[in-house]
């Protein structure tokens, strides 16, 4: 017997059996990526029905959404680190089971406390899968296919984020609000069965202890930050309690970073941010999600209340974003494997800036085809940007830190969603209040021009955010070209 054949395999790329089923593994990853991101947005459209069935004001039922997002953001770094220690695939499998159980419990919950508790359980499972999916994909796929694979992950993330309202509306009207949770069960169970069969055993683990104090501090920071941001939308940021929560969040993150910098095995490996490519890619990803969720908040109001489209027609119009992205993102990912990622991320951001400026010039009489062009263009820009940017984030990280790197990427995405929602609503209602001469927290009947003015400002702000990301990416592109020129001249 050849002794070399008995040697343990060091990477998944060395195992031909794993490589044969790598695309099936990606499908399992993407199914849970889709469901976990979908459940962050699908509930919004069901809130009126849930509040009516449970005899609760809508303001209280909003915690069904908030509790899910808060739990994911608070737990995701912990589970990313735990994945590096205990095994990313092991944590992902456990997360699949917890997410399925949480989804079942949500549908059976007939009181608000039970529903929120079930959502927290569901979010814990989602955080376990989100934190480790990108690390597993990066680990399993060879570098020549990594961009394409991560591009498909990015596609399903965006699909889950954008498709929630339209898909949720169909499910709620046809079956009832419980089924927005129960729809996860057959898909989740099938994905889990496939996962057990095709997912390999973990190869890379860190032999360190979990950072308990860092986990507690980061959780408290997320709770304080989200409480301040989300309650600030309802009551205004002049409220003493809200100001206190935001100051507390700033103090907690400062203490967290100070403590992490002095630990041998911290929850957040700050040395990763010394890699300028990683830091810049993470920052650009955050800025793009902030800009995207400005669009997510404003576009449905504009389509239904200003263009007077029915909910179903508005849903079809807004679906142009994810449809275009579904087509473009895998192509962009595959192309990044061949020509590199820096140029593609820059092109994607420039296209997104153009689309955002286009939105800022829409008005009450804009035609639906014109609006559709700008929506499709935004989907194109995001499709070109997301896959190469994810590849840049994950490709420069040691294998022992892929779990925490993936969790940071997912955390940035979720925080970007919340910041985008907060920025859009605060800016919109601030401008509308200024135009109306009194505090405004909703659309003013018979005065669409006031909403249009606020919408224009929001989209110019989001265009500025995308422009900043484009400038940073352009700087990265120039540095990459210079480095290549230096290597060629030395050779």
Please state, in angstroms and rounded to a whole number, the distance separating the CA atoms of residues 66 and 421.
12
C-alpha distances in Å from residue 43, one per residue of 37, 137, 164, 418, 448: 11, 28, 8, 15, 27
Q: Which of 251, 267, 283 is the last residue of a domain?
A: 267
In a domain, 255, yes or no: no
Residues 121 and 192 reside in one and the same domain: yes
Please state, in angstroms and rounded to a whole number, the distance separating the CA atoms of residues 491 and 480.
17
Predicted local confidence at residue 6, as pLDDT = 36
Residues 286 and 189 reside in one and the same domain: no
Residues 202 and 274 reside in one and the same domain: no
In a domain, 238, yes or no: no
In a domain, 223, yes or no: no
Residues 57 and 203 reside in one and the same domain: yes
In a domain, 443, yes or no: yes
| Residue 133 · residue 33 · CB < 8 Å | yes
Residues 199 and 303 reside in one and the same domain: no
Apex 295 CA angle, 294 and 301, nearest 5: 105
DSSP state of 272: G
Predicted local confidence at residue 102, as pLDDT = 94
DSSP state of 309: -
Residues 51 and 200 reside in one and the same domain: yes
Q: Which of 267, 296, 311 is the last residue of a domain?
A: 267
Residues 206 and 328 reside in one and the same domain: no
Q: Which of 201, 233, 267 is the last residue of a domain?
A: 267
Residue 207 is part of which domain span?
Answer: 15-211+263-267
Please state, in angstroms and rounded to a whole number, the distance separating the CA atoms of residues 448 and 364.
7
| Residue 242 · residue 235 · CB < 8 Å | yes
Residues 43 and 170 reside in one and the same domain: yes
Residues 190 and 47 reside in one and the same domain: yes
Please state, in angstroms and rounded to a whole number, the distance separating the CA atoms of residues 206 and 350.
40
Predicted local confidence at residue 3, as pLDDT = 39
Predicted local confidence at residue 91, as pLDDT = 92
Question: What is the mean pLDDT of each successive set of 10 residues along the chain, which is 491 residues long?
Answer: 42 80 87 82 72 71 79 87 86 93 91 91 92 83 77 72 69 81 88 86 73 87 85 75 90 90 78 80 89 83 83 76 82 80 89 95 91 93 85 70 71 82 85 84 79 93 95 84 68 58
In a domain, 240, yes or no: no
Residues 456 and 346 reside in one and the same domain: yes
How many CA atoms lie within 13 Å of 177's alpha carbon, on the beta-carbon side? 19
Residues 338 and 432 reside in one and the same domain: yes
In a domain, 367, yes or no: yes
Predicted local confidence at residue 289, as pLDDT = 87
How many domains would you assign to the chain? 2
Predicted local confidence at residue 389, as pLDDT = 82
In a domain, 218, yes or no: no
CATH code, domain carrying 85 = 1.20.1250.20
In a domain, 480, yes or no: yes
C-alpha distances in Å from residue 92, one per residue of 79, 113, 134, 203: 9, 27, 11, 14
| Residue 310 · residue 346 · CB < 8 Å | no
Tokens of 336: 């990044």
Backbone angles phi, psi at 456, to 5 degrees: -60, -45
């Amino acid at each position: 017997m050849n002794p070399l054949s008995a040697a343990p395999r060091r990477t998944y790329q060395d195992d031909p059996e794993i490589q044969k089923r790598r695309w099936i593994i990606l499908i399992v990853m993407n199914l849970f990526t889709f469901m976990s991101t979908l459940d962050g947005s699908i509930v919004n459209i069901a809130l009126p029905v849930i509040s009516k069935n449970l005899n609760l004001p809508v303001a209280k039922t909003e915690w069904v959404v908030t509790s899910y997002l808060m739990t994911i953001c608070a737990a995701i770094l912990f589970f990313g680190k735990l994945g590096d220690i205990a095994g990313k695939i092991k944590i992902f499998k456990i997360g699949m089971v917890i997410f399925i159980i949480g989804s079942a419990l949500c549908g059976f919950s007939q009181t608000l406390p039970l529903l929120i508790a079930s959502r927290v359980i569901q979010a814990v499972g989602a955080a376990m899968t989100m934190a480790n999916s990108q690390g597993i994909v990066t680990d399993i796929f060879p570098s020549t296919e990594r961009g394409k694979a991560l591009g498909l992950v990015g596609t399903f993330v965006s699909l889950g984020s954008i498709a929630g309202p339209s898909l949720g509306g169909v499910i709620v009207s046809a079956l009832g609000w419980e089924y927005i949770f129960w729809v996860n069960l057959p898909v989740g169970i099938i994905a889990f069965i496939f996962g057990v069969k095709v997912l390999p055993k973990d190869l890379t683990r860190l032999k360190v202890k979990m950072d308990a104090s860092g986990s507690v501090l980061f959780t408290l920071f997320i709770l304080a930050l989200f409480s301040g941001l989300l309650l600030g939308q309802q009551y205004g940021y002049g409220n003493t309690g809200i100001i206190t929560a935001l100051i507390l969040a700033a103090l907690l993150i400062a203490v967290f970073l100070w403590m992490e910098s002095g630990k041998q095995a911290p929850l957040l490996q700050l040395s990763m941010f010394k890699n300028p490519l990683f830091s810049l890619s993470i920052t650009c990803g955050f800025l793009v999600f902030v800009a995207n969720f400005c669009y997510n908040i404003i576009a449905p109001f504009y389509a239904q209340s200003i263009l007077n489209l029915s909910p179903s027609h508005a849903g079809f119009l807004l679906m142009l974003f994810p449809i275009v992205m579904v087509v473009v993102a895998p192509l962009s990912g595959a192309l990044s494997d061949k020509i590199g990622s820096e140029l593609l991320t820059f092109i994607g951001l420039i296209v997104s800036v153009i689309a955002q400026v286009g939105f800022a010039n829409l008005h009450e009489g804009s035609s639906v085809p014109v609006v559709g062009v700008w929506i499709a263009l935004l989907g194109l820009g995001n499709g070109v940007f997301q896959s190469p940017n994810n590849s840049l984030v994950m490709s420069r990280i040691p294998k022992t830190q892929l779990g925490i790197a993936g969790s940071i990427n997912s955390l940035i995405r979720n925080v970007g969603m919340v910041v985008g929602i907060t920025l859009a609503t605060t800016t919109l209602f601030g401008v509308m209040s200024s135009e109306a001469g009194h505090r405004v927290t909703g659309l003013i009947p018979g005065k669409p021009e006031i909403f249009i003015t606020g919408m224009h400002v929001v989209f110019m702000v989001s265009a500025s955010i995308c422009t900043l990301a484009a400038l940073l990416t352009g700087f990265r592109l120039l540095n990459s070209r210079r480095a290549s020129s230096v290597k060629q001249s030395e050779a």
